[in-house]
Structure 1
């Protein structure tokens, strides 16, 4: 038969283990919640299409971004070879992977962003950032 003292030590050890494990779980849960707040929620997967206007198109499917990411963040996640200008109303992308804007926005070709909705591509309503 197990002695009372041995049983007491075993129960006390299990209690201490449970207390420590619960403390660690609570600590990591709180830190995870703080991280989710900081990044705006759980990560999301998006599909990015770069259409160079010369017949070349590159798809980046399943690109992982933070929930509060912008179109500009998505672009920078698929290529680092981007040139842009920053204006008071937002970022204007001027070159991607060596392909530059040609002319100006009304009489040429420029890097624009679109989103897919209801079976068609739609102009982005604001700057990419």
Structure 2
């Protein structure tokens, strides 16, 4: 019986050493990354990006680091495969991760729309401009939604 207790004691001690070492490593790595982001001196923005596929599936890419000056389109392109068209009005997204825009008629279809979280309203609001025209600030949350529309 005492030998089993010794094995158990050694196992618990080994677990404690491994857990402490791992926790220390993660703490130091977190500090290093925090210093690196601070060192960049505002040359990056950290944003949250959501992709709502319209079928109940939402993929989140929180704490996405992007260069300062990035747009809502830049954020989407950084986390997904995107197809879009450029026009005089700006970029128009036609596909995200192979989910294509679908035009049923001139009055109905499914398209990709982008929203930003408005802190004052505590709600998502439709993007006011084309996605390639909206510059992101650190801490923002944007969501791309595949939506049905009908006139």
TM-score (norm 2): 0.55
CA distance in 2, matches of 1:121, 1:105: 27
Which residue matches 1:65? 66
Distance 1:105 1:114, change over 3 A: farther
Partner SS for 1:109: strand
Larger RCO: Structure 1 or Structure 2 (Cα < 8 Å, ≥ 6 residues apart)? 2
Q: Which residue of 1 aligns with 2:127?
A: 124
The residue aligned with 1:32 is none
When the two chains are superposed, the root-mean-square deviation of aligned CA atoms in Å is 2.0
Structure 1 moving runs of 4+ over 6 Å: none
Residue 78 (structure 1) shift: 0.7
Partner of 1:50: 51
User: Counterpart of 2:83?
Assistant: 83
Q: 1: CA distance between counterparts of 2:113 and 2:107?
A: 12
In 2, distance between residues paired with 1:125 and 1:51?
19
Structure number, greater radius of gyration: 1
Structure 1's unaligned 5+ residue stretches are 1-34
For residue 55 of structure 2, give the secondary structure of its aligned residue in structure 1: coil
User: How far has the Cα of 1:67 moved from its partner?
Assistant: 2.1
Which protein has the bigger strand share? Answer: 2
Provide the C-alpha distance between the structure 2 equivalents of 1:57 and 1:106, rounded to a whole number of angstroms: 27
Measured in 1, the distance between the counterparts of 2:107 and 2:65 equals: 33
Secondary structure (helix, strand or coil) at the match of 2:95 reads: strand
When normalised by structure 1's length, the TM-score is: 0.64
Deviations 1:89-120 (A, max 9, x none): 11100000110112178522210100001211
